[in-house]
Amino acid sequence: MQIWNSMEEVPESFGPCVVTLGNFDGLHRGHQEVLGQVRAEAARRGALSVALTFDPHPAKIHRPETAPEQIMGHADKLAAMAELGLDAVLVLPYTLEFAQQTPEEFVRNVFVDGLGACAVVVGHDVRFGKGNTGDLSTMVSLGADLGFDVVVVNDEGHDRRWSSTWVREALRSGDVDTAAGVLGRAHTMSGEVVHGAARGRELGFPTANLSPDACGIIPSDGVYAGWLTDTDGHRWPAAISVGSNPTFVGVSRQVEAYVINRPEESVEDFDLYGQHVVVEFVQRLRGMVAYTGPEALIEQMHQDVVDTRVILG
């Protein structure tokens, strides 16, 4: 999949193509349906399949104080889009100046002159152009004037429309099962493994601590069964702790994964420090509890490992 980070990177005379637009945060099942229809429509027309997205998220420019937390990092989103078989993704830098384009200017500059679109795939609620004044009827009218078809995705037939908002709600409550149902896969975070307080090692459960700037929404505090994929692509079962660990005073909120079935029991023989890893949340085991002391916590951690093994098989 080709990735272009500006209109200037799009090859001259590119097209014809079938294109859609969106933020695609989380790349949930609704997004996957849209992109699948783009691919199918492109194949039917003998055209290329393209998705247009923005960086940063427009909300971070227009209302940074209330912009939603991103479900996944930008690089992770592009990697997931590549797995769907698109020919190209155009990532346009989103600025206040860019946002001043009228709906017609935006469509003409990007879809027609830039990409040579023969068809645009959109949902019923599509909005675009200055002040989001462009809608579905606007797109249809522009298509008739500028020479492209508009294909409308039918997202009916579900009890609740798949959305990034639904995923965020589920993760904030620790309901990773529901989040996975909307996403079509388990929720993940990615980031560098950094040194922590080494308290897990002292307790006999050395953990891989994700950097505070790791990408992806942190689920609600608690312990989860899941997986850790290391830099080499090896996927390890893991018991994942999220929170500040109330048994100990002064511990900041963090995500740490205890890898099960390590090749050796000694942490020195299994060093993940500095690696960029992916942590996958499969099922919530329990909430975060303040125990009376380290002994009670260790006993519970042993049980967490047993429960994780059962869940992951």
What is the CA 103 to chain-centroid distance, rounded? 28
Q: What is the mean pLDDT of the chain?
A: 90
Local confidence band at 250 (pLDDT 50, 70, 90 cut-offs): very low
Q: What is the pLDDT of residues 155-166, one digit of tens each?
A: 665 678 899 999
Global confidence as pTM: 0.89
- The helix or strand, by DSSP H or E, that contains position 255, with its residue range, turns out to be strand 254-259
Residues marked active site are found at: 256
Pairwise CA distance, residues 206 & 22, whole Å: 41
* Single-letter amino acid, residue 288: M
Q: What is the rounded (10 degree) CA torsion for 11, 30, 126, 5?
A: -30
* Single-letter amino acid, residue 308: T
CB atoms within 10 A of CB 201: 12
Pairwise CA distance, residues 133 & 119, whole Å: 21
**Which single residue is written with the structure tokens 């005379």?**
13
The number of residues making up the chain comes to 313
In this structure, of 22-36, 41-55, 261-275, the range with the lowest mean pLDDT score is 261-275
Nearest to 115 by CA among 1, 5, 19: 19
CB atoms within 10 A of CB 41: 20
Local confidence band at 198 (pLDDT 50, 70, 90 cut-offs): low
* Predicted local confidence at residue 199, as pLDDT: 57
What is the CA 241 to chain-centroid distance, rounded? 20
**Which single residue is written with the structure tokens 């897990």?**
200
**Integer angstrom CA distances of residue 282 from 18, 196, 221, 239, 306:** 35, 24, 14, 10, 15
Local confidence band at 85 (pLDDT 50, 70, 90 cut-offs): very high
